[in-house]
Amino acid sequence: MMAAMLMLALASPAAAQFSDSYNFIKAVKERDVNKAIELADKPGTTIVNVRDADSGDAAIHIVAKRADLGWLGLLYQKGANLNLKDRDGNTPLILASISRWSEGMATLIRLKAQVNAQNRLGETALLKAVQARDTDGTKLLIDAGANPDIADNSGISARNAAERDPRAGAIAKLLKDVPVKTPSKMQGPSL
């Protein structure tokens, strides 16, 4: 009896290793489109937003990090949350901004990703674009309504960062023409 219980206990981790969630993330990482579609199309599943147990990344983060437009489109079609945050609070748009992936940024913006979302450090995609001195990305985000006056946890906004960086003259000029926006203090219902 004890041997049977031990075998059952040891079999559980092996079975979990091959769960649909595990296989979906594996398919995305290995670019196995057919397997990913097969798993995402199962009735009643929300597997498209599942996270990797090790990294905490969902499929949408994996494809944003590798700048894969085809997979980004596929995941969107399957219902992926474009504003899902990774362990650091980064959305796919912030990740695209970090890597200066303008095509991905443009696509995420067109698909209505939140342009003013902040990560755990309070950084926005616009601040990351300014820090990377990405003029094209900065323009994309400004045109989409990104607020250059949202400060991160250390009090630095995209506008401040551009003004302080002598190598970001073109970006500072872009941001200079954007009217000052004060973030709304109220969040949630009021009495």
Mean pLDDT by 10 residues, the chain (191 residues): 50 60 96 96 90 94 97 96 97 98 98 97 98 96 96 96 90 84 61 56
Asked if 125 and 141 count as a contact pair (C-beta separation under 8 A), the reply is yes
Domain boundaries, the chain: 20-81, 101-179
Give pLDDT, residue 15.
44
Question: Which CATH entry fits the domain spanning 101-179: 3.40.50.620, 1.25.40.20, 3.40.190.80, 2.60.40.10?
Answer: 1.25.40.20
Give pLDDT, residue 178.
81
Spell out the SS3 assignment of 174-191: HHHCCCCCCCCCCCCCCC
Give pLDDT, residue 55.
92
Residues contacting residue 30 through CB under 8 Å, at least 6 positions apart: none
How far apart are the two ends of the chain, measured CA to CA in Å? Answer: 62
